[in-house]
A and B are shown apart, each in its own frame.
Chain A
């Protein structure tokens, strides 16, 4: 994660839900158990702040917010990924893999990471195969798959395709007579 990376900044701005545990303080508009939508960076900070830092015992400490998992980490979604990694449509999420990193970082979720890694490898090899075609027309299923890629995968496809295309073109051209 780099400070100046624009992708990172946008990814941080993705929204997820929070569940307020705040005790109603005077003047504080948020009541208990209210769902609010927060950008990820704000949610990250609030979720780890304790209400009362002076409390020493861990059991009594309560975070201000409890994060509800966004839909793309829900059990159904993950199950769908397990069965069908190609068909999953990641394009609405833009930065799925970055989000996975941040989420897993917060919760030490190795299971999630393993699952997503496997999915990445599957989809990536599919991307590699597809990036061989020189012309830009893809049919049916392939087109669907390509539309369902997230930001990272799309960039991967582009660079992979460019690399193959460069080589093919270079092999085809014959040199000029001048050096």
Chain B
């Protein structure tokens, strides 16, 4: 097929790295050089020891040819990362604000520009490792609250999102299919449109001999408590399932005591 199966669910780390390489970064040219026009933007004339901002992929090429030094971004310093690590530990329900591509960019720079770092590199590496582990644990804990309506994950970086993407999408999809399968019959009884072609004969003629829960109520049930709970500011963003008709929901009771791992303050 045109697109191999593994690419259909999510992006590969290399592709994410590709995206990260388009981000701009500051460099310190060591020699002067003429600029040129590129497809994406003009490469400016480089003057020695005058800082310029260029995309990372370009900076890496120049670095490899020994034509420049890379200015390590502010967030990749020991003090900043240590502060973020503290934040992560103190807020077990929130993700600290890190740059969108922090893991990718740090890997790229640590691999190619070791000499440009001010702080000891091994310390930075271990800090990054620690940060990643803490955040990963938090993410895994939060995934336990998955439901088929929606999920909120503020503060994660692109790679971390990409990591859990296939899992989240598959489970959410399956949950949704489960929920929809029991709703279709009800929709057809009330003459609504369904997107999945179902056999109309079935739902109308099914006997009551064997049926789990009979759908008695009509369509417009509003979950008063739930909707009020959701739109308020400091409330849980973890929804229980919202089918249109609900006898009782097992998740209703749980929602109050939820971990609120994704709650935003």
How many chain A residues touch B (Cβ–Cβ < 8 Å)? 51
Interface pair A170/B14, CB less than 8 Å apart: yes
A160–B167 CB distance below 8 A? yes
Q: Most chain-B CB neighbours within 10 Å: which of A1, A44, A100, A128?
A: A128
User: What number of A-B contacts does a CB cutoff of 8 Å give?
Assistant: 150
1/0 contact trace for B207-250 toward A, CB 8 Å?
10111111100000000000000000000000001010111011
Mask of A90-118 contacts with B, CB within 8 angstroms, 1/0: 00000001001110111111111111111
Q: Does B44 belong to the interface (CB within 8 Å)?
A: no
Contact with A along B167-181 (1 / 0, CB 8 A): 100110011011101
Q: Does B199 reach chain A (CB closer than 8 Å)?
A: yes
For A102, list chain B residues within 8 Å (CB): 181
With contact pairs A101-B177, A105-B181, A128-B143 given, residues A110 and B210 touching in the complex (Cβ less than 8 Å): no
Asked if A101 and B159 make an inter-chain contact with CB atoms under 8 angstroms apart, the answer reads no
Q: Given contacts A107-B212, A159-B170, are A166 and B144 in contact (CB under 8 A)?
A: no
Is B205 within 8 A of A50, CB to CB? yes
Cβ-closest 6 pairs across A and B: A109-B212, A170-B13, A101-B181, A108-B185, A104-B182, A125-B144
Taking A160-B166, A166-B12 as known contacts, 11 extra A-B pairs with beta carbons closer than 8 A to each other, sorted by chain A number, are A100-B178, A101-B181, A104-B178, A108-B215, A110-B212, A112-B212, A113-B181, A156-B170, A156-B171, A159-B166, A167-B163
Report which B residues bind A (CB closer than 8 A). Answer: 6, 9-10, 12-14, 17, 60-61, 64, 103, 107, 111-112, 140, 143-144, 146-148, 159, 162-167, 170-171, 174-175, 177-179, 181-182, 184-186, 196, 198-199, 201-203, 205-207, 209-215, 241, 243, 245-247, 249-251
